[in-house]
Structure 1
Amino acid sequence: MAAIGIDYGTSNSEVVYFDGTKHHFIKLDPNVEQSNKIRSSVFVYYKDDLPRPPVSAIEAKVAQIQRAINDQLEKAKNSYYEAQDPREQRVFSEKIDDLRAQYHNKPALQRQAIQLLLKYMTVQDLSLNQLVETGEFAFGEEGFKRYLKTPDKGRLIYSPKNFLGAHLVPGQKAAFVGMIAKQLAFFRQSAEQQLNQTVDTAVIGRPVRFHGTRGEEGNSQALEIMADAAKKAGFTHVEFLEEPIAAAYKIEPNLAKPTNVLVVDIGGGTTDICCIKLSPEKRSNLNRQQDVLSVTGARIGGMECDKNLIVKSIAPTMGQGLKMLSGLPVPPTYFSDMCAVDDIPRLNHFFSDEYGLDITQTMSIIKESKLLGRLLTVQEEKLSARLVNSSRLAKEMLSSKTEITLPLHYIEADYDVDLSVEDLNRSMKSWLSRVKRLVVECLENSSEAPEMLFITGGMSLSPIVRKQLTQEMLPNLPVIEGDAFNSVCEGLAIQAARL
């Protein structure tokens, strides 16, 4: 039996096994160079026809058909009573009998209702729960490429983790349990095949606070969903560990003496910070909560930077800021709604026919309608996730370049947007202020001052972030160099081995 660490992230996920001496990275995505990392997004799709509509929709359509038959029946009755010729009365009498038979033939009405529903039904009409129960799953780059090729065949859940702490109705909660169970089962099976042994235990990383506005209630819901999904995926023993504490466990063996370390973990969806007492002598201890001096976190991660870069620097080339004939600006909510890939109801609203009609009507009362036409293309072709992904790539490229040209040819031929480090700086300004406030909060809550600083998570590689934290905010704190992408999962694997 083996125990693994699972870093179930907002943007990417990872699985690691620690044998007591060495970390073994489980290959999860053969379509990328670093195959131990896999996109956390899920594409749920249908190869052929959509599934049978839900019973409630069928019954509603049957009732609608019956109302139409009843209207015809009343007209036939009136015509029968008005007819003077017996032969004409006989014709209407036969029609009345036929309509009554149609009205009461429930199986035929249901078949007709299903045909009508399927004729006009799209994937967007299905509930998330029905989608998860009846659709096929594609993970990683395969899923994202399939989404880019046939977005109308399914739905891309850009970051399932971002929804776990949000307000969910019962059906949605069950849907996320089923969806994440599919992912965790894939992770477990991949580990079993590569380790050649049964995997029954997992330590799964968790943020200090899950993405959501429901506080501790949201955190409890998120952990419950993850625990239920892990059980459904075949794990018999699951524990959760805060991600910054897991990162601390990874660097602990390299310390020469007991040290208070400030760990700043900035991931795709959350920023989590802890101040913890680390010591090489304690690395075999299972419970280390007494060594945690303070811990805090918030739902501010790299994805917010991706969306901010769109709103601040890309949206102006799509009509943001234009004035309508009334003198009022084009509704700014168009562009924030366009980026809401982590808010399913809001994104579904953006993709609705009514929303597209609203954008079209706005285009008729502005001068530069071509720019807003780009927004309409994103709306009609459901390109939000692709645009946010392009913004993420731009953000990463601007970490090593001062200027780039971002091609958005999937929106419009020859549509390029020039972006600079200054644009990225401007889009990250308010986000960075919030990150720094979290650091201050953690330091103020700690009974002892940190002696070293460790920055991890994908956003820790940003020169803008590192400069703000190491030079502007904590210039006198020595920095521990480590793996920004793997430290959390390696720490989770260490904890799993202790179990």
Structure 2
Amino acid sequence: MAAIGIDYGTSNSEVVYFDGNQHQHIQLDPQIENSNKIRSSIFIYYEDELPVPPAAIVEAKVSQLQRAITRQIEKAKQGYYDAQDPREQQIYSEQVDDLRGQFHNRPALQRRAIQLLLKNMTVQELSLQQLVETGKFAFGEDGFRRFLKTPDKGRLIYSPKNFLGANLEESQKQAFVGMIARQLEYFKQCAEQQLQQPVDTAVIGRPVRFHGTRFETGNAQAIDIMTQAANLAGFGQVSFLEEPIAAAYEIERSLQKLTTALVVDIGGGTTDICCIDLAPERYARIDRQQDVLAVTGKRLGGMECDKSLVLKTLAPQMGLGLQMHNGLPVPPTYFSDMCAVDDIPKLTRFFSDDYGLEIAQTLSITKNPELLKRLLVVQEEKLSARVVNSARMAKELLSSKDAITLPLHYIEPDFDVHIDNTMLKLSMQSWLSKVKSLIKDCLAQSSKAPEVVMITGGMSLSPVVREALCEELLAGLPLLENDAFNSVCEGLAIQAAKL
């Protein structure tokens, strides 16, 4: 039996196996050549008709049809009493008998109820639990491309991890258990095929604090959901390790003596920081909590930067800041709701017909409404995830370029937005100040000052981030080089091998 490390991320996920000497990265996405990463998003869809509505909804519709039939019966009876001609009375009498037959023909009423419900139903109206139980699943690039091609055929869960610590109803919890179980089962199958042996154990990375306002209650809920999902996926043993500590385990192999390290892990969804004592002689220990001097974490990941970049650079080209005829601005909540790809209730509301009608009405009372038409296209064609993804691509391109032209032709032909590094820095200012504050909190909590620093995670590759941290806050500390995209998962695999 093999044990694997799973970095279940906000934006991307990764699986690594460690044999005690070398790491083997499991290929997860067949559509991306030589890549060990896969998008964490899931597209749940229907190729043909939507599923039959739940029994309770069907029965409610049956009752509604029976009430309508009852009204028809009463009307036919009144026609019978008012009729003077026996032949006319006979017609009404036969009509009453026919309606009574319809009233008591439950199978026919149920079929009619289902027809009516399906006629007007859209995927967005299905509950998350029903979607998980009845829909088809597509992962990685396959899922994202299906979503771009047919967004009305399903629902894209942009980042399942971001919901795990939120205030969820029981049915929503079970929906996420089922959804993530399907992902973990897929990861397990890929690992078993490539390792050519059964996989029974997993060490899964976790942020210091999952997204949400429920603190330890939210953390406990997230771990419970992930544990249930892993068990359902077929893992006999599962444990969790905080992501910055996992990254520390990977660099520990290169150290020569006892060293106090500050690990700053800036991922897609969270920023997690730990100050930890590392030493070669402690490498084989399973429990290292006594070596952890301080740990802090918050929802301050790259996705927040993506959304901020949308609001600062793209949204003004889509109507943000325009004035209506009464002098008031177009509601800025339109644009924050458009970006809410990690908030299912908010995004569902944004895609609703009522919301589209509200934007259309605002369009009619707005000065120079041409720009706002672009927002209406995003709303009607459900393009929010694509817009945020475009901002992510722009952010990554600006890591190596001073300026880019971002094509948004899926919104409007020839719609291009110029973005430069000055604009990117401006959009990241508030976020960076919060990251610095989190680092300061960790340093203040630690009983020892760090001797070295390791900055890892996808956002650590941004020159803006490096400049703000290494040249300002952490100036003077030796910077340990690492694989920003793989350090966490490689550390998780090391812990898995110990188990």
TM-score in terms of structure 1 length = 0.99
User: Partner amino acid for 1:325?
Assistant: H
Task: Supply the distance in 2 between the matched residues of 1:146 and 1:88 (Cα, whole angstroms).
Answer: 59
Q: Which moved more, 1:258-267 or 1:361-370?
A: 361-370
The Cα shift of 1:91 comes to 0.8
Aligned pairs for 1:466-485 (under 5 A) are: 466-485=466-485
User: Partner amino acid for 1:213?
Assistant: T
Aligned pairs for 1:13-162 (under 5 A) are: 13-162=13-162
Task: Supply the distance in 1 between the matched residues of 2:168 and 2:111 (Cα, whole angstroms).
Answer: 33
Task: Supply the distance in 1 between the matched residues of 2:351 and 2:383 (Cα, whole angstroms).
Answer: 10
Q: Helix, strand or coil: the match of 1:38?
A: strand
User: Partner amino acid for 2:178?
Assistant: G
The Cα shift of 1:104 comes to 1.5
Match of 2:222 in 1: 222
Aligned pairs for 1:162-177 (under 5 A) are: 162-177=162-177
Q: Helix, strand or coil: the match of 1:254?
A: coil
2:289 is the counterpart of 1:289: yes
Task: List 4+ stretches of structure 1 deviating above 3 A.
Answer: none
Task: Supply the distance in 1 between the matched residues of 2:436 and 2:323 (Cα, whole angstroms).
Answer: 36
2:393 is the counterpart of 1:360: no
Question: Unpaired runs of 5+ in structure 1?
Answer: none
Task: Supply the distance in 2 between the matched residues of 1:202 and 1:155 (Cα, whole angstroms).
Answer: 29
Task: Supply the distance in 2 between the matched residues of 1:77 and 1:66 (Cα, whole angstroms).
Answer: 16
Task: Supply the distance in 1 between the matched residues of 2:70 and 2:443 (Cα, whole angstroms).
Answer: 73
Match of 1:498 in 2: 498
Q: Helix, strand or coil: the match of 2:253?
A: helix
Q: Which moved more, 1:78-87 or 1:345-354?
A: 78-87
Task: Supply the distance in 2 between the matched residues of 1:347 and 1:57 (Cα, whole angstroms).
Answer: 24
The Cα shift of 1:87 comes to 1.2
The Cα shift of 1:34 comes to 4.0
Q: Helix, strand or coil: the match of 1:476?
A: coil
Task: Supply the distance in 2 between the matched residues of 1:159 and 1:368 (Cα, whole angstroms).
Answer: 36
Match of 1:392 in 2: 392
Q: Helix, strand or coil: the match of 1:405?
A: strand
1:96-117 CA deviation, whole Å, 9 max, x = no partner?
Answer: 1111111121111000001111
Task: Supply the distance in 2 between the matched residues of 1:364 and 1:155 (Cα, whole angstroms).
Answer: 30
Match of 2:318 in 1: 318
Match of 1:182 in 2: 182
Task: Supply the distance in 1 between the matched residues of 2:209 and 2:34 (Cα, whole angstroms).
Answer: 28
The Cα shift of 1:16 comes to 0.2
Task: Supply the distance in 1 between the matched residues of 2:424 and 2:55 (Cα, whole angstroms).
Answer: 49
1:92-150 CA deviation, whole Å, 9 max, x = no partner?
Answer: 11111111111121111000001111111111111110111111110000110011011
Q: Helix, strand or coil: the match of 1:323?
A: coil
Match of 2:369 in 1: 369
Match of 1:11 in 2: 11
1:163-203 CA deviation, whole Å, 9 max, x = no partner?
Answer: 00001111111100000000000000100000000100000
Task: Supply the distance in 1 between the matched residues of 2:400 and 2:57 (Cα, whole angstroms).
Answer: 53
User: Partner amino acid for 1:9?
Assistant: G
Task: Supply the distance in 2 between the matched residues of 1:157 and 1:304 (Cα, whole angstroms).
Answer: 17
User: Partner amino acid for 1:464?
Assistant: V
User: Partner amino acid for 1:239?
Assistant: S
Task: Supply the distance in 1 between the matched residues of 2:298 and 2:179 (Cα, whole angstroms).
Answer: 24
User: Partner amino acid for 1:492?
Assistant: L
TM-score in terms of structure 2 length = 0.99
Task: Supply the distance in 2 between the matched residues of 1:114 and 1:370 (Cα, whole angstroms).
Answer: 41
Aligned pairs for 1:227-376 (under 5 A) are: 227-376=227-376
Match of 2:463 in 1: 463
Match of 1:418 in 2: 418
Task: Supply the distance in 2 between the matched residues of 1:316 and 1:213 (Cα, whole angstroms).
Answer: 30
Q: Helix, strand or coil: the match of 2:419?
A: strand
Q: Work out the percentage of aligned pairs sharing the same amino acid.
A: 71
Task: Supply the distance in 1 between the matched residues of 2:316 and 2:142 (Cα, whole angstroms).
Answer: 32
1:32-54 CA deviation, whole Å, 9 max, x = no partner?
Answer: 13421000000011111111111
Q: Helix, strand or coil: the match of 1:75?
A: helix
2:417 is the counterpart of 1:442: no
User: Partner amino acid for 1:262?
Assistant: L
Task: Supply the distance in 2 between the matched residues of 1:193 and 1:102 (Cα, whole angstroms).
Answer: 57
Number of aligned positions between the proteins: 499
The Cα shift of 1:17 comes to 0.3
Task: Supply the distance in 1 between the matched residues of 2:323 and 2:232 (Cα, whole angstroms).
Answer: 53
User: Partner amino acid for 2:492?
Assistant: L
Task: Supply the distance in 1 between the matched residues of 2:327 and 2:54 (Cα, whole angstroms).
Answer: 46
Task: Supply the distance in 2 between the matched residues of 1:433 and 1:117 (Cα, whole angstroms).
Answer: 50
1:232-255 CA deviation, whole Å, 9 max, x = no partner?
Answer: 000000000000000000000101
The Cα shift of 1:481 comes to 0.7
Task: Supply the distance in 1 between the matched residues of 2:456 and 2:321 (Cα, whole angstroms).
Answer: 37
Task: Supply the distance in 2 between the matched residues of 1:212 and 1:178 (Cα, whole angstroms).
Answer: 20
Task: Supply the distance in 2 between the matched residues of 1:33 and 1:216 (Cα, whole angstroms).
Answer: 40
Task: Supply the distance in 1 between the matched residues of 2:233 and 2:99 (Cα, whole angstroms).
Answer: 52
1:319-365 CA deviation, whole Å, 9 max, x = no partner?
Answer: 00000011000000000000000000000000000000000000000
2:428 is the counterpart of 1:428: yes
1:367-401 CA deviation, whole Å, 9 max, x = no partner?
Answer: 22211110000000000001110000000011111
Task: Supply the distance in 1 between the matched residues of 2:451 and 2:70 (Cα, whole angstroms).
Answer: 81
Question: Unpaired runs of 5+ in structure 2?
Answer: none
Task: Supply the distance in 2 between the matched residues of 1:240 and 1:174 (Cα, whole angstroms).
Answer: 20
Task: Supply the distance in 1 between the matched residues of 2:133 and 2:51 (Cα, whole angstroms).
Answer: 10
User: Partner amino acid for 2:305?
Assistant: C
User: Partner amino acid for 1:261?
Assistant: A
Q: Helix, strand or coil: the match of 2:264?
A: strand
Q: Which moved more, 1:28-37 or 1:412-421?
A: 28-37
Task: Supply the distance in 2 between the matched residues of 1:269 and 1:228 (Cα, whole angstroms).
Answer: 22
User: Partner amino acid for 1:191?
Assistant: A
User: Partner amino acid for 1:283?
Assistant: Y
The Cα shift of 1:84 comes to 1.2
Q: Helix, strand or coil: the match of 1:419?
A: strand
Q: Helix, strand or coil: the match of 1:297?
A: strand
1:268-320 CA deviation, whole Å, 9 max, x = no partner?
Answer: 00000000000011100111000000001001100000000001111000000
Across the aligned residues of Structure 1 and Structure 2, the Cα RMSD in angstroms comes to 0.7
User: Partner amino acid for 1:76?
Assistant: A
Task: Supply the distance in 2 between the matched residues of 1:327 and 1:70 (Cα, whole angstroms).
Answer: 53
